[in-house]
Structure 1
């Protein structure tokens, strides 16, 4: 089974959706699953130093401070229900996510899913600036990526351009929000659905791939 996942690394619903999907995969009958991660930059205009998180959220959502608090509290509870931690009190910066997506693209296939989770953890649990190259290099180094070589790759303009181009391509092809999944190039799933919905979708997709008996 092939699953293409469009996501952003500062999207809490992407982390929740990832947890639900992987829990569903653990219950499914699929023996071989190939997951491809695709960048979807929610806001590529954020500078390298980032913006103050709550002010940025107020401006982006057009909400007052108390409304943002209620929104974040609701999202945090949804994370707890899914089994993932979203500590919005630790998040100080809204950041640009290009570097984090570059790291995912550069990560070896065997650790790519783990690197994605490590980036989510760094931002949502540790409150780290995942738009900072030293933070990203430290994550990569924890997964046996060579630090000096990785830093050179992250500074390669071609790698940056590929991330931006892929995100733009997704928008041009009708993807307007994340998480967004495409399973076996045919079944589309928009949103961080429950484990049960993901499991039903996985099973239905498997049935679609069974050749019809003549």
Structure 2
């Protein structure tokens, strides 16, 4: 008897990367298209935490100062922001970069995502990722602030100790045997479909769909995926 068709997709991401927010939206569009074309395919998407700046101080650093230092001029910053905002609009997202004051250390936020997966399952983790993307890129909230993270978790109906709103030290460590800290130096977003070479960048839905169909055409049933943060579509 033939095994059912399946795809296992790993996505490296960080919460302060606008291309990751755009890439997530594109991936979800591609998955919806795949479900229409191949309703027989079971898809698991694992979100792999890849903090870009894990050594930043807990309070973060000024976002505008960082952007100027990285791009060299106010003009270059404005040009880059316009490019990103245009790409986001094509995905149905309206970014508000002018509201961002802090470039945060996102390790604590990624620990919260790991807790969301452990406490609320795959759908809860994905919902929290969306909530944190929106908090940062639409409202300019500081993702290094435990109060912001606690409020996001409550908004996603996660079980959170009410007395712990200002201290999330109880969260599970991000760096563990089942969810290693993949760390800085790796580009995000990146998509690995059934173990194929990574696809880098916020690719449009059509490109992701074509990559999924190619993986299916290779007709090699995916081995059971390792544990991780996942959303499942069928």
With the shorter chain as reference, the TM-score category is 0.7 to 0.9
Which ranges of structure 1 fall in alignment gaps of 5 or more residues? none
Tell me: higher relative CO, structure 1 or 2? Use CA pairs within 8 A at least 6 residues apart. 2
Cα distance, 1:84–1:35 mapped onto 2, change above 3 Å: same
> Which one has the bigger helix percentage?
1
> What residue number does 2:9 align with?
3
Aligned to 1:193: 203
Identify which of 167, 175, 193 aligns with 2:182. 167
- Cα offset for 1:62? 4.2
Give the conservation status (yes or no) of the 8 Å contact 2:15–2:133: yes
Q: How far, CA to CA, are the matches of 1:121 and 1:16 in structure 2?
A: 11
Of 22, 41, 44 in structure 1, the residue corresponding to residue 28 of structure 2 is: 22
SS at match of 2:46: strand
User: Corresponding residue for 1:140?
Assistant: 153
Q: Does 1:183 align with 2:193?
A: yes
- The structure-2 alpha-carbon separation of the partners of 1:149 and 1:155, relative to structure 1 and needing over 3 Å to count, comes to farther
For residues 28-107 of structure 1, the aligned pairs below 5 Å read: 28=34, 29=38, 31-59=41-69, 61-107=70-116
How far does residue 150 in structure 1 lie from its aligned partner after superposition? 9.7
Matched residues in 2 for 1:164 and 1:46: separation? 21
Shift of 1:208: 1.3
Residue in 2 aligned with 1:129?
Answer: 142
Equivalents in 2 of 1:141, 1:209: separation in Å? 42
- Residues 102 and 154, structure 1, Cα contact 8 Å, conserved in 2: no
Shift of residue 14, structure 1, vs aligned partner:
0.6
Structure 1 distance, partners of 2:123, 2:48, is 16
* Number of equivalences: 205
